[in-house]
Structure 1
């Protein structure tokens, strides 16, 4: 069963506001893999665990039809508010019970979502709905993001960030294990397809206000767990980290822009032609 941790309306709104999307360069690797192994036309893409739909939007211009699925009505409500492209629709369903016919989907994606699924069941379901030569793309980023700011020591900034991550570690869901990257690596090894690819370290750098970086970390399940357990402690922790970063940057506003380096990992697999 999919873990249901992101269903509050406030959390869904913060997802849309702060969660990052894969860069054009990263998502292009998915399309290049699909082009190589299946070829055009690209008819139907399904983005599973789509949340508030940032990743779903990236697929729209490449496919005749794109469907984002999620278990959370609140997340889908936010996604619908921002779905301007006429070829995007959304469906509420479990990741392990997709409402699509056998061998009907060109591309199944799961962007920062697979780790919350019943992983073996989802992989079986993805295999069922994919066309022969259809592709599965699963990507995620690690929590250890790195900050940089002009004329400021990145090592010091990132030591402060590590304090933030360390304080949240006890609130990390046990479903994720020690490292979510290991879950994806194990999934890659378990997929029996001959054509597959695993990339463990793809850096993506994004410029954003410091307040957006703070909001991004606050949207993590571990911070949300702390917030539910001890709201005052969560708020104080976030404020203290923000003040420390601003002090080191000699910045007077949390709107000051920083560069956030995010480390992605990527799993690509092509379903073989079946007998």
Structure 2
């Protein structure tokens, strides 16, 4: 699969006249709890020739490929990536810290991580993860009870807990997040058993509700409702523009 991913990225560069500056794995494989049939969610950031950015016309800023078998590939232009990163995008924070990287321009990645360190907004991160966790909890409550839904709820719930406590982006790897936020005990054993079931079997197979996880989640949702954050302004546009110009000049 690694070879196929590299060939796909090279084909994207050729067909779209772009340069892929960074490509990584996103989703369950990056989080560390992929199933046997999980997709490869490849995400990338690309740059077009300088003339593209000098036009007043609105240009498409994403490249999306049809999902073929288990390969899901799409990417964002650097202008879109920087704009979203300025707003504290949790998605981009995860991309930039993915443990699985397929391609990287070292200088570009350092620049993006620099911007990410300046633009991380705890309130934005928290609401991103907390809202996702609530949606997963609602799906479980509506009867979609399977290992995948539990895993997705736990990841986003623990991430929200992390942000509430540390005010920083959470670890991407679920096992690190779990170790830091849950420690040990019977609940961890239940979570580990659930993830093992997800990894080895059909992650969407209906299972019995896991009472220990349900009780833990309900208690945390109630506690997190009371979390408040100080207002933090977006990163100033001048800083983003300066980094953007450096990237264009380096091309």
TM-based fold match above 0.5: no
Q: Which has the higher helix share?
A: 2
Q: What is the TM-score with the length of structure 1 in the denominator? A: 0.28
Q: Which has the higher strand share?
A: 1
Q: What is the TM-score with the length of structure 2 in the denominator? A: 0.29
